[in-house]
Structure 1
Amino acid sequence: MGVLAVRLILVYTILNAFLCCLEGNERDQLALLAIKAQIQQDPHQVLSSWNESFHFCKWYGVTCSRRHRERVTVLNLGSQNLEGSVSPHIGNLSFLRELRLGNNSFTHQIPAEIGRLHRLQVLLLHNNRLSGPIPTNISNCFNLITIHFGYNNLVGKIPSQIGSLSKLQTLVLEFNCLTGEIPPSLGNLSALEMLAAYNNSLSGSIPSSLGQLKKLTLFSLDLNRLSGMIPPSIYNLSSIVTFSMSINQIQGSLPSNLGITLPNLQNFHIFTNQFTGAIPMSISNITSLARFIVAENNLSGPVPSLRNLHNLQHFAINQNNLGSRGYSDLSFISDLINATELGQLFLGTNDFGGTLPSAISNLTTKLKMFGVQENQLNGNIPFGFGNLISLEALSLRNNHFTGNIPNDIGRLSSLGLLALGKNALSGSIPSSLGNLTMLTTLQLQGNNLNGSIPRSLGECRQLVELNLSRNNLDGVIPDPVLGLPSLSKYLDLSKNRFIGSLPMEVGKLKSLGVLDVSDNRLSGELPSTLGTCLGLEVLHLQGNYFNGTIPSSMVSLRGVQDLDLSRNNFSGEIPQFLERFDFLRNLNLSFNDFWGAVPTQGVFKNASTSSVVGNANLCGGVADFHLPKCISKNSKGRGLSSRLKLILSIVPAFIGIAMVLFFLTLCLLRKRSKKIALPSTNLTNSILQVSYSTLLKATDGFSSTNLIGSGSFGSVYKGTLDAADGSPQLVAVKVFNMLHQGASKSFLAECEALKNIRHRNLVKIITACSSVDFHGHDFKALVYEFMDNGNLDEWLHPTSGTQEDTHAPKYLNLIQRLDVAIDVACALDYLHNHCETPIVHCDLKPSNVLLDEDLTAHVSDFGLARFVLKPTDNAPTNHQTSSIGIRGSVGYAAPEYGMGSEVSTYGDVYSFGILLLEMFTGKRPTDNMFSDDFNLHNFVKTAYLERATEIADLLLLQGGAKDTPNDQCSSRAQKLEQCLSSTFGIGIACSAESPTDRKDISGVASELRSIRNNLPA
């Protein structure tokens, strides 16, 4: 009986095991089919084998165990472009050890059922579109060795439970939207060798507990919001090979023993942080060092010896405060002769002085990029650069180099970028540069180069950008150079001495975006081929001797945004087709010989975006041009002889009366000028102490090269005056065009408005001049503090025009725009509520908001300003004290002004509201999309509550564009939406149609500050 029982038990055990095996097999098969069911796209048909014709252990990507028969241990569907979601049934593959689903397009969340895979060792879900948080129960997968979740849209915090995975060797979370602090529990991962969590939104400081990760070889936390100092224990992890903390907000200095505590270091990246102090001398001990990238910090002092760094490949210390402007600052370059793998050497934007060592020519021929721009280097460019035959980029711009451009640079057949601009180089442009057939960018601007442009540059058929401006070049522009079809970004030949005509070959520049040949001595008519340059956005021809009419072929240049033909000899009528240039934002036709009627549509609607001054025979146009009405041909001919007789009869009497009036006017002006009182400054205590001749000298004879801008009543020039201590002081000189009706009143109004006001957000007047010029003509000018960053309009609507640094286009981010808006609101609050007599500006718009070197805003141009009475019980609304009419600017002037209402502070609030909406939408109130009752106010009002980001300026969304994974960072996206919505709400409230419905400016600045403070850091 006992033997039979034993046999029965044995049979039952075998049968049960068999049944369990069948159950496990069936469960795995059903789980795989459920996984397949949630995959919608399989472009390579790799799942076609997942059917009953094959045993599931033979299905593509499926590996079964040998020990536990027919149980799935590996599921590898990586890099198959699969689309769908990860099925929760994945948790039923209980024997799974490796799950490899990387490099696909899986969406939705990581299923929490993964936490049931206790045998799982490798989990690869990288490079998908997964969202949601990391499941906290992943800690139940206690055999995990590798976790790779990089390149997804995961949100939330890093679960502290991960710290319990004692076998974990690799943790990769890069390129997600993770937030919060780094859990200190990660310091418990004693087996961890790789920690990569860069490009997230992690914040706080780095836990000191991470100093316990003694096996760590890769430590990468770049592109987060980490702050504070790196714990000293981290620098003691001697196993580290790659140390990368770039683009954070980390402070502190590098330890002096860095080269001793990290002996195995190969890659050290801490660029774009706030590190201070010196580069440790001990780095010379790290013989394994390959990449040392510490750019964009505040490091100072000398560069230590690099003699032992034979394995160095990439050395970047640019944009710091290194060097002492001393003679031997760059002596360390000689130490790099034995660094035979050196490929990139970036030393730019520091305080290095002295000369560039000739040892540069002995560096490895593998060097591809060398930059020492924006330093204080002098002397000649050493001969020998031609030895560096692999160079692809050479930048020496913004220094004080003298002498000639070395001929041997023409040997650098791989060179793509040559930037030598803004030095003091002389001599001619070497013809050998024509050998640089791979050259895409050539910058030689701002030197003292002379001679002609070598025709050989026409052989540089890859050239995209060419800047030879601000030199002493002469001769004709060579046809082969001007006709390079590869030129697509810009061609800048301005401010030289070129002669001759603009060659017909200009028509080959079909893709060119910017053409600037201004301020030369070019002449003749414009070639008709100019109309084939369909890519042009900026065309500057001003300051030459061009004549004839504007070619009709230019009707094709529909994409042009900035067109300047001023200061030439053009004639004929202004072409009507310019009205139809939808993208044209700046048109300058001033100081030519145009005649006839000025168009009234398109860019001509607004005098702030177009200028026609200095054309004596023009008529008509909008009122702001202040031109006489056009007289029809019939009326001109009628009664001509009788008018002529009348004129001849009254000429003698008229001359006599004019002489009397002239002397009376001189007496009156002298009396008036004595009444003008301007603030005492460091330059003068009286307007009469700055003479016409002084300002003439200060602006180099009111040179066109110093012209900053022009407006209704005159032009503004950059100049230099001597301060009280004898030092030169940059100023802006506003010269009034006294031939314009109202210019004298504008001068007096601005003097009166500015003489008693002081505020950090108002432009500072230095002095004034009321005199006569050398021809005896009335001369009036105001002298202001110079603003380095121009006006707000240039920043809100940047053109693709060349700048001194073409790699630094003007752009204001969200916080900078809020700061400017706050500044302007504070200025208006001061004018309206804190002056002895309230002042209404009357012409608030972006071009009248100036930005200093710190981008602090200053409201300017008080030529239309009015004093108003303070509100009393008998006067509930403030109004102007005089009846002088208001002009303002189209789009910004309050609607009640158009119905004859008096000037009030409400009008300024309306202008501020429109300006605020323009700042954050990027759209001008005069945009062609607005007409009739549909304006900028209504455009924003219909969308700001629910679709604020859709109507916002696209430039504000740069770096987190709508199609990038970062859009899934819900907390940041919500705060951005809320910020824009709140800001738009203020702009709408300020620009309400009824004056009494508008906000009081006194509280606007506080509201904007609150919005700014709620933005994520």
Structure 2
Amino acid sequence: MWGLRSSTLGNIFLLLSVAMNFSVSHVSSAKQFQNETDRLALLEFKDQIYDDPFGALKSWNHSQHHCRWEGVTCGTQHQRVIALTLRSKQLSGTISPHVGNLSFMRSIQLGDNQFHGEIPQEFGRLFRLRVLNLSSNTISGKIPANLSYSAEMINISLTGNNLEGKIPIDQLSNLKKLEIFYLGQNNLTGEIPSSIGNLSSLIRIGLQYNNLEGNLPMEMGLFKRLKYIGLHGNKLSGIIPASIFNSSDITSISVTDNYFHGNLPINMGLTLPNLGELFLGINEFSGNFPTSITNASGLEELDLSSNKFAGQVPANLGDLTNLQRLNLERNLFGGNSTGDLDFIASLTNCSDLSLFSLSTNNFGGNIPKVMANLSNQLTTLYLGGNQLSGTIPQGFGNFVNLIRLSLELNYLSGVIPRDFGKLQNLQFVRLDNNQFSGQIVSTLCNATALYYLDLSFNQFEGGNIFDNVLMNCQNLQYLDISQNNFTGIISPHFLQTHSSLIYMKIGENSFSGSLPPEVGKLIHLVDFNVSHNQLAGGMPISLADCADLATLFMQSNFFQGTIPPNLASWKSIQKLDLSSNNLSGPIPKELEKLQFLSYLNLSYNDMEGEIPNIGVFRNESQISLTGNNKLCGGIPELEFPPCPVIKGKTRGKLKVIILLSIVLPAALLVLGALLLYFLVYRKRERRMVAGFSSMPTRIDELLRVSYHELLRATSGFSSENLIGSGNF
């Protein structure tokens, strides 16, 4: 009995053991099958990559498990692929649709590569997907609407591609957990639909630099957690919904470069207490400066530029002690009065201020002395295009980190302060269109990185500015000192050592001497203006070495001689003015070859000869030749007299014909006479030999000369050897 029970229990245990082994084997087999599916999907992904410069996929081979491949992350429990992270690997290729077989995938991050093609529709099968980052590639096509199937999605980043079409908000609005939605820098069109309000968890939305248009939906103000909204660089219009300015969590708003209009809410500084960045530039906003903005104490960047804001700037703007960038340019601020810049005193509290621009407004009065107490972190100071007067206050030398200084188009006077020599980081300086006078401080070019210098339309003076001041500006690319009272010569050494110059404008001064041949060293020169000076001598043929030259103005000087024909080697010249000089000789026919030349002025010189009629010379409106009384021909519209009938080549041919008509008959006559003479002589000789064979031979026999010797001796019967002519 006991034995029977023991046998039965043994059979039961045996059956359980077999069942358990079968179950484990089946599970193991299924797991192995699923792992194999992931591995094959990854290999298909690799197969679509044709360039892998950093070898990111080198480890993707059979020597190790795919969960250990670079960029692949697997879950610890099931060993299924849950993340594919290959950012900034410079991979080129398309994204394989087989990625849709990675059913446990949670994160795909392939940003900053060179993927092209479209986003596979198979991504809609990745129900567990939470992060999709394909930014900074060249992916095209439309955004797949079936991404809405990934209900767990929290981050969609597709910025910096070539995506087109409308945003499928109606479908994507199912993504209730979506927090980050970046679609900027694409070619998306259409309006932002009101259904965007269903993305109730949004924290950051970036739709910048697309072609979106229409008004902003009111629903955009329903986001309770929204911190960043980027809509700049579109075609959006209308009034920004007031509800957006009531989202107290917002830290950054950027709507620059659109068509928004209207006034800003008076209390926006109270409703946006956490605001750190406000970019409203290049729109059509109007009204007064929102004074409540000073309540947003954390504000670091404020850009109201290129709008229609008016009135005075709040005197307590400096309460924004964290302010780093303040841009109010191109508005209607100020009233051309002495107190317009009083608010600057409060900005001395902003110790991190690096950019400060008030240019192109209506600010009047003097530059306050307290401005010299602004932050020494200042890198950019723009005050140009206002009604400012007086002098530059002492103390600007404190801005030791200043890179860009712009004071142009004001009524400033006096001299450049000597402490400008301390601004050794200057790269860009505009002082043009003011009333500055005196000599330029020799220490101005202590800023060896200075590449842009415009001092034009002032009353500066001094001789040899090139050697005394500008020589140390080794990196100059743009130099404009025109419309001043400078004297001296153009230094050959300056030209030789400043080959980086692209624009050089020194017109309307009193420079004298010649234009040195070293001008040919300016091989990058595009715009060259030496007009209205006292320069003399010839035009250097080395100007032809300035191969990029597009504009050359040399009018109203004392240049003389001929125009060098080698100037026809210019490839880019568009405007050439040599008028009111003492140039002579013919117009080089080679100028016909300048295919981009659209303006040529040679008037009031002493040019002579025939006017070409090809190229720029075919269009009366593009050339001016007035005051050259020795010119002839050209197109009828120029109304110059016709040239004489015997022109250059015809006259030459006529000379040849006349010469041949004289020389050839004379040569034939001489040849005939010689032949006749030799025939008579030979005949007489034969007779004498026959009749007087017994007589002694004459000692003085006539010299026998062959025809070829005679031909050579007379230089081919040249007319120069002709003694006479006549008939026999």
TM-score grouping bracket, smaller chain normalisation:
0.7 to 0.9
User: Structure 1 residue 275 and structure 2 residue 285: aligned?
Assistant: yes
Query: What is residue 443 of structure 1 aligned with on the other side?
Result: 454
The aligned residue for residue 430 of structure 1 is 441
Give percent identity, aligned residues only.
43
Letter in 2 for 1:200: N
Of the three residues 383, 387, 392, the one matched with 2:394 is: 383
Give the one of 253, 261, 265 matched to 2:275: 265
Contact 2:441-2:469 within 8 A present in 1 as well: no
Per-residue deviation, 1:633: 7.8
The answer for the alignment partner of 2:120 in structure 1 is 111
The alignment status of 1:363 with 2:396, answered yes or no, reads no
Does the CA-based 8 Å contact 1:195-1:219 persist in structure 2? Answer: yes
Residues 395 and 419, structure 1, Cα contact 8 Å, conserved in 2: yes
Q: Could you tell me which residue of structure 2 aligns to residue 655 of structure 1?
A: none
1:333 equivalent among 344, 365, 374: 344
Structure 2 counterparts to residues 494-533 of structure 1, below 5 A: 494-533=507-546
Q: Does residue 296 of structure 1 match 2:309? A: no
CA-CA distance at 1:318 after TM superposition: 0.5
Structure number with greater CO (CA < 8 Å, separation at least 6) is 1
Count of equivalent residues: 636
2:63 is matched with which residue? 53
**Matching residue within 33, 36, 40 for 1:23:** 33
CA distance in 2, matches of 1:311, 1:156: 41
The 3-state SS of whatever aligns with 1:451 is strand
CA distance in 2 between partners of 1:30 and 1:269 (Å): 48
Give the match for residue 614 of structure 1: 627
1:17-58 per-position Cα deviation (integer Å, ceiling 9, x unaligned): 333212211221221122222222222332233232222212
Deviation at 1:561, TM superposition (A): 1.9
Task: Give the structure 2 partner of residue 86 of structure 1.
Answer: 95
What is the 5 A alignment of 1:780-929?
none
| Equivalent position amino acid for 1:328 in 2 | G
Query: Which runs of no fewer than 5 residues in structure 1 stay unpaired?
Result: 637-1017
Report the Cα distance in structure 1 between the residues aligned to 2:499 and 2:248, rounded to whole angstroms: 52
Q: Report which stretch shifted further, 326-335 or 494-503.
A: 494-503
| Residues 497, 290 of structure 1: alpha-carbon distance in 2 compared, 3 angstrom cutoff | same
Distance in structure 2 (CA, Å) of the matches to 1:193 and 1:376: 44
| Cα distance change of structure 1 residues 184 and 558 upon mapping to structure 2, 3 Å threshold | closer
Distance between the aligned counterparts of 2:235 and 2:570, measured in 1? 46
d(CA) in 2 for partners of 1:45 and 1:263? 48
Matched residue type, 1:182? I
Tell me the distance in 1 between the aligned counterparts of 2:585 and 2:548: 26
**1:47-84 Cα shifts (integer Å, max 9, x gaps):** 2332322222122211111111x211111222222222
Question: In structure 2, what is the equivalent of residue 96 of structure 1?
Answer: 105
Residue aligning to 2:689: none
Deviation at 1:219, TM superposition (A): 1.2
Q: Is 2:483–2:509's contact at 8 Å kept on the other side of the alignment?
A: yes
1:172 paired with 2:182, answer yes
Task: After TM superposition, give the deviation of residue 387 of structure 1 in Å.
Answer: 1.3
Q: Deviations over 1:252-296 (max 9, x none)?
A: 111111211111111111111111111211122222111101111
Query: Which residue does 1:629 correspond to in 2?
Result: 642
Equivalent position amino acid for 2:348 in 1: I
Alignment of 1:248-259 (within 5 A): 248-259=258-269
Match of 1:977 in 2: none
Q: Secondary structure at the match of 1:529?
A: helix
Matched AA of 2:394: F
Report whether the alignment pairs 1:144 with 2:167.
no
- Aligned match for 1:398, one of 409, 413, 421: 409
Letter in 2 for 1:512: L
TM-score normalised per structure 1: 0.60
The question of whether the paired residues in 1 share the 8 Å contact of 2:499 and 2:521 is answered with no
More divergent stretch after superposition (483-492 vs 273-282)? 483-492
Letter in 1 for 2:223: L
Comparing 313-322 with 490-499, greater Cα deviation is found at: 490-499
Is the counterpart of residue 352 in structure 1 residue 352 in structure 2? no
Distance 1:285 1:24 in 2: 58
* Distance in 2 of aligned mates of 1:46 and 1:487: 42
SS of the equivalent of 2:518 reads helix
Aligned to 1:342: 353
Q: Which moved more, 1:504-513 or 1:225-234?
A: 504-513
Give, in whole Å, the separation in 2 of the partners of 1:588 and 1:87.
Answer: 63
Q: Which runs of structure 2 are paired with 1:940-959 in the superposition (5 Å)?
A: none
Which residue number corresponds to residue 155 of structure 1?
A: 164
* Separation in 2, partners of 1:486, 1:362: 38
Q: Alpha-carbon deviations, 1:686-729, whole Å to 9, x = none?
A: xxxxxxxxxxxxxxxxxxxxxxxxxxxxxxxxxxxxxxxxxxxx
Distance change in 2, residues 1:307/1:44 (3 Å): closer
Q: Does 1:585 align with 2:598?
A: yes
Q: Is the 8 A contact 2:565 2:591 kept in 1?
A: no
Task: Report the counterpart of residue 415 of structure 1 in structure 2.
Answer: 426
**Structure 1 residues 453 and 386: CA distance shift in structure 2, 3 A:** farther
C-alpha distance in structure 2 between counterparts of 1:147 and 1:633, whole Å: 78
Of residues 187, 192, 207 in structure 1, which corresponds to 2:217?
Answer: 207
> CA distance change for structure 1 residues 121 and 558 in 2, over 3 Å: closer, same or farther?
closer
Whether the 8 Å contact between 2:39 and 2:66 is mirrored in structure 1 is: yes
Pairwise CA distance, 1:340: 1.4
What does the per-residue CA deviation read over 1:800-839, in whole Å, with 9 as the maximum and x for residues that have no partner? xxxxxxxxxxxxxxxxxxxxxxxxxxxxxxxxxxxxxxxx
Residue 284 (structure 2) pairs with residue 286 (structure 1): no
Match of 2:254 in 1: 244
Please give the alpha-carbon distance, in whole angstroms, between the structure 1 residues aligned to 2:437 and 2:263: 42
Match of 1:651 in 2: none
How far residue 8 of structure 1 moved from its aligned partner, in angstroms, is 7.1
- 1:322/1:617 Cα in 2 relative to 1: closer, same or farther (>3 Å)? same
Superposed, 1:37-52 pairs within 5 Å as: 37-52=47-62
Q: In the alignment, which residue of structure 2 is the partner of 1:549?
A: 562
State how far apart, in whole Å, the 1-side matches of 2:218 and 2:125 are.
32
Identify if the C-alpha distance between structure 1 residues 185 and 8 changes in structure 2 by more than 3 Å, giving closer, same or farther: farther
SS in 1 for 2:397: helix
CA contact (8 A) 1:429 1:453 kept: no
Amino acid across the alignment from 1:119: R
Contact 1:485–1:510 under 8 Å retained in 2: no
1:193 match: 203
Could you tell me how far apart the structure 2 residues matched to 1:48 and 1:558 are? 49
Alignment match, 1:898? none
Note the C-alpha offset of 1:154. Answer: 1.2
CA contact (8 A) 1:560 1:584 kept: yes
1: CA distance, partners of 2:200 / 2:97: 31
| 2:65 is equivalent to residue 65 of structure 1 | no
SS of the counterpart of 1:120? coil
Alignment of 1:666-677 (within 5 A): none
Using the TM superposition, give the Cα deviation of residue 533 of structure 1 relative to its aligned residue in structure 2, in angstroms: 2.5
Once the two structures are TM-superposed, the CA of residue 13 in structure 1 deviates from its matched residue by: 4.4
Q: Write the distance in 1 (CA, Å) between the matches of 2:431 and 2:304.
A: 24
1:310 is matched with which residue?
Answer: 321
TM (norm. structure 2) is 0.83
Asked if 1 retains the 8 angstrom alpha-carbon contact of 2:214 and 2:237, the reply is yes
Offset of 1:606 from its aligned partner? 2.4
Deviation at 1:428, TM superposition (A): 2.5
Supply the distance in 1 between the matched residues of 2:471 and 2:197 (Cα, whole angstroms): 61
Give CA deviations for 1:656-711 in whole Å, capped at 9, x if unaligned: xxxxxxxxxxxxxxxxxxxxxxxxxxxxxxxxxxxxxxxxxxxxxxxxxxxxxxxx
Letter in 1 for 2:39: Q
Gaps spanning 5+ residues in structure 2: where?
Answer: 1-7, 652-728
Measured after TM superposition, the shift of residue 431 of structure 1 is 2.4
| Aligned residue among 186, 191, 194 for 1:181 | 191
Report what 2:470 is aligned to.
457
What letter is aligned with 2:574?
Q
In 1, Cα distance between equivalents of 2:212 and 2:357: 29
Following superposition, the deviation at residue 245 of structure 1 comes to: 0.9
Match of 1:850 in 2: none
Q: Distance in 1 between matches of 2:597 and 2:449?
A: 34
